[in-house]
Amino acid sequence: MGTKLWSTSYYVLAASLAVLFLLPLIWTGYASVAPHGATNQQVGYGFGNYASLLEYDAGLLRYLWNSTYTSVLTVAFTLALSIAGGYAFARFSFRGKDTLFLLTLAILMVPYSTLLIPLYSMLGDLGLRDSLTGLALVLTLYQLPFAVFMMRISFEAVPKEIEESAMVDGAGTFGILTRIMLFSVWPGLITVGLFSFLAAWNDFIAPLILVSSADKAVLPVAIANLRQQSMGAVDFGATQAGVVVMALPCLVLFALLQRHYVRGFMSGAIKG
C-alpha cells in the first residue's frame, strides 16, 4: 500500500511539474496565432504574426541563418578546445595542473557582461568586430569552463587500461584520442555540444553589443527590435511568433538528444 501511494504521488507530482513548465509554451503558441487588435492577426486564427516576422527588415531566414551559423561555430570551437583541454587535465601530469583547472572554473564566477567591453576592444584589434565569427569566439569563451570540466570528468571515467592496450599496439597520443577516447565519451560530447548550442542560440547581450550591422543580427536581437512599433507600442503577436520560432529548434534538439544528455551528466556523477 505504501509503495503504491508513493508511486501515485510521484506520478502526480511529475505530471503537475510537466503542466507547470509546458503551460507557458502552450500559451505562447496559442497567442502567436490568436487574433489581437494590435497585431497583424486581427481577425480569426492564422499565421499573420508569422508573416510579419518573415518579412521583417532583412527577413526571418537571414536571422535564422545568422543564429544557426553562430551557434554551430560556437559548438565546433567549444568541442575542439574542450576535448583538448579536458583530455590534458584528465591524463597528463604537469606543474600547476590543479591550480590552472581551478582558475579555469573560476571564470564561471565572473559575470560575462563585465568582460564585453574588453572583448569588444580585442575583437577590434583582431579585425573581428561586427563579425559573426568574432561573436562565436566570445560565446565559446563563456562555454569553455563548463565544457572543459565536463570533458575532464568524461575522460577520467574511461579506464586507463584501454589507453595502455592501444599504446602496446603502437598508437600515439593523438591516435588514442581520436580513434578510441572520443568514441568512449560521446555522451559527454553531446552534452557539451547541446549545452553550447542552446546557450549560443538564446544569447542576447553579447550579440547586442558585439554586432552592430542589421543584416548580421541574430534571432533574439531581431525579435527584440521587431516588437517595438511606432510610439512605443509593443507587437505582442509578432513577439510571440518569434519566441515560438526560437524555441522550436531547442525543443527538437533536446527531445532527440535527451537520453545522451542525461547519460553525459550521469557519467560524471558516477565518477564522482
What the block records as the C-alpha cell of 119 is 572583448
| pLDDT tens digits along 173-224 | 787 777 878 888 888 888 899 889 999 999 988 898 888 888 888 999 888 8
Neighbouring-strand partners of residue 234: 228
Euclidean distance between CA atoms 236 and 228, whole angstroms: 9
Look-up of cell digits 583582431: 126
Q: Which residue has the higher pLDDT, 39 or 219?
A: 219
| pLDDT tens digits along 146-173 | 899 888 888 888 888 777 777 777 777 7
CA separation (Å) from 33 to 91, 169, 214?
A: 54, 62, 27
Q: What is the DSSP string of 178-226?
A: IIIIHHHSHHHHHHHHHHHHHHHHH--HHHHHH---GGG--HHHHHHHH
Identity of residue 135: L
Euclidean distance between CA atoms 81 and 102, whole angstroms: 17
Euclidean distance between CA atoms 260 and 185, whole angstroms: 11
Euclidean distance between CA atoms 196 and 138, whole angstroms: 12
**Distance between alpha carbon 48 and the CA centroid of its chain, in Å?**
29
CATH architecture of 48-271: Orthogonal Bundle (1.10)
pLDDT at 265: 55
pLDDT at 270 over 50: no
| pLDDT tens digits along 210-261 | 888 888 889 998 888 876 655 566 777 778 888 888 888 888 888 887 776 6
